Chain A
Amino acid sequence: MLVLSMVNLPTLATEQTPLRLAVAANFAGPMLTLAEQFEQSSGINISISVGSTGKFYAQIRQGAPFDVLLAADSLTVENLIDQGLADPKTRLTYAIGQLVLWSPEPGLFGNQAQAIETLKAGDFTRIAIANPAVAPYGAAAQAVLRHLGLADAWLKKRVQGQSIAQTHQFVASGNAELGFVALSQLQATGQTMAGSVWQPPQNWYPPIRQDAVLLSASKNPAIGKAFLIFLASAQAQEIIKTFGYQREPLQ
């Protein structure tokens, strides 16, 4: 109801077509909860397409019929705006990802000093990080390693996931002993997964901003905007936080 009062929504007759969201794969979990809430409070149907941000970018450039993109980074949104494919006024950072070093083995490291010691010792066969070229979490992991003076350490032991989901898979399946994954992946079920977890200080890596934007091709711009306002609301941000993301610090 709060949402409805903020913008003028078109009449119910045009609300039959669902709002089409392109959602970054790492945000699929919280999105389901958010969509449920939005649908309940607004009566608008949402259709969710989950995928990689890079693929959505390619599809949107070719005229994919999405209304809103919830990207896994801010660069893609910037590129879309530059090409006139998204509305700059609607851009917002809906979540900030948090990087963690994780190993399913419980005793491997218990605090920051031990985690850094583990990384420096290099006493493992494989460490998984996301590909820095395609995944913001990979770039973040690379920054943390650089901060520790390990930018070029044991390159042969590094295995790269093409997404943060794949990186998590490498570690979860035991093929890599440890890896840099997203905190949201460890909290996907509401409780933090077992094992050793270390969260590097956030000023060691550039913030993993996930931006959302209304796409220029949207046929439901008013509803799209309403959804973005909902996404920024305290209610939505509270939900997002429980899934292991941070919210944008208030300016």
Chain B
Amino acid sequence: MNDLHTILSQSAIDALLLTLRLAAVTTICLLIIATPLAWWLSQTRSHWRAPVSAMVTLPLVLPPTVLGFYLLVMMGPSGPIGQLTEAIGLGLLSFTFTGLVVGSIVFSLPFAVQPIQHAFESMGPRPMEVAATLRARPMDAFFSVALPMAKPGILTATILSFAHTVGEFGVVLMIGGNIAGQTSVVSTEIYTYVESMQYAQAHWLAAIMVIFSFAVLLWLALMKRQTRAMPS
């Protein structure tokens, strides 16, 4: 940390740590939400499948700042989310870390659901049928057959969710409010440096973020290759 201080300000270091925390928390939440959702989408014959699938993809359509703007409005005191969170005593989510996590989950949802869904779909009905004939209960079969087979897809979802959250800017900018240690992440910090013409600080922070993200993504990619190579 002491070495970092010579090239980065304290607020930049805070932003780095916060970004990693946000990306990690968001990725974990996304995997918990996306896995059952992807399973349902891959298996169901319900007529809800198409609308739900479209809803999941929708965050890709809106530019991030526009998505962030509507999240800000919805999280506000007269928005539906804001009224709900105030009614249950949580207060407003805007300008809080929790708010950023919620925004990031919405923003990166398609990146988590799609790869897992594809993995479940490409598996075909056969493995689950076999599991059923071996008298595995559906829950059992899901955890001991479907989930391990979908591992490459889940790893891809992890990589994409993490990277997408680290690189997120528009949504955080709109609902964050740039509070040090709470909502000021690397992307908004770099933006502040550029806007205030402190290019050297911006370059350092961007370089560190790129190198670190490269390392994380490389590690995940190597792990993914390993799971592919391993016969299951």
Q: Let me know if B72 and A159 touch, CB within 8 A.
A: no
Q: Let me know if A52 and B77 touch, CB within 8 A.
A: no
Q: Does residue A42 face the partner (Cβ distance < 8 Å to B)? A: no
Give, as a whole number of angstroms, the nearest-CB distance from A23 to chain B.
Answer: 16
Task: Give the CA-CA distance A169 to B177 in the complex, in Å.
Answer: 11
| Tally of A-B Cβ pairs under 8 angstroms | 66
Q: Let me know if A131 and B178 touch, CB within 8 A.
A: yes
Across the interface, A133 reaches (CB within 8 A) one of B72, B179, B196, namely B196
Q: Does residue A173 face the partner (Cβ distance < 8 Å to B)? A: yes
- Count of interface residues, chain B, beta-carbon cutoff 8 Å: 24
Q: Let me know if A79 and B72 touch, CB within 8 A.
A: no
Give, as a whole number of angstroms, the nearest-CB distance from B134 to chain A.
Answer: 55
Q: Does residue A94 face the partner (Cβ distance < 8 Å to B)? A: no
Interface-lining segment among A145-153, A160-168, A220-228? A160-168
Q: How does the 8 Å CB contact mask read for B53-97 relative to A, with 1 for contact and 0 for none? A: 000000000000000010011011110001000000001101100
Across the interface, B95 reaches (CB within 8 A) one of A55, A126, A134, A169, namely A126
Give, as a whole number of angstroms, the nearest-CB distance from B95 to chain A.
Answer: 5
In the complex where A162-B173, A170-B177 touch, is A134 in contact with B196 (Cβ < 8 A)?
yes
Across the interface, A160 reaches (CB within 8 A) one of B76, B78, B178, B194, namely B178
Give, as a whole number of angstroms, the nearest-CB distance from B224 to chain A.
Answer: 36
Give, as a whole number of angstroms, the nearest-CB distance from A52 to chain B.
Answer: 6
Task: Give the CA-CA distance A173 to B95 in the complex, in Å.
Answer: 13
Give chain B residues whose Cβ lies under 8 Å from the Cβ of A58: 194
Q: Let me know if B178 and A162 touch, CB within 8 A.
A: yes
Give chain A residues whose Cβ lies under 8 Å from the Cβ of B92: 125-126, 175
Give chain A residues whose Cβ lies under 8 Å from the Cβ of B69: 169
Q: State the main secondary structure of chain A at its contact with B.
A: mixed
Q: Let me know if A162 and B78 touch, CB within 8 A.
A: no
Give chain B residues whose Cβ lies under 8 Å from the Cβ of A79: 197
Q: Let me know if A174 and B76 touch, CB within 8 A.
A: yes
Q: Does residue B117 face the partner (Cβ distance < 8 Å to A)? A: no
Q: Let me know if A174 and B78 touch, CB within 8 A.
A: yes
Give chain A residues whose Cβ lies under 8 Å from the Cβ of B73: 173
Report the nearest B residue to A167, measured CB to CB.
Answer: B177
Interface residues of A in 19-74 (CB under 8 A from B): 52, 54-55, 57-58
Task: Give the CA-CA distance A169 to B73 in the complex, in Å.
Answer: 9
In the complex where A54-B195, A131-B192 touch, is A175 in contact with B91 (Cβ < 8 A)?
no
A-B contact pairs, 13 of them (CB 8 A): A54-B194, A57-B197, A76-B197, A128-B177, A131-B178, A134-B195, A160-B179, A162-B173, A162-B188, A175-B76, A175-B92, A175-B94, A176-B177
Q: Please provide the 10 A-B residue pairs with the shortest distance between their CB atoms, ordered closest to farther.
A: A159-B177, A54-B195, A160-B178, A134-B195, A175-B94, A174-B77, A174-B76, A173-B76, A133-B196, A175-B76
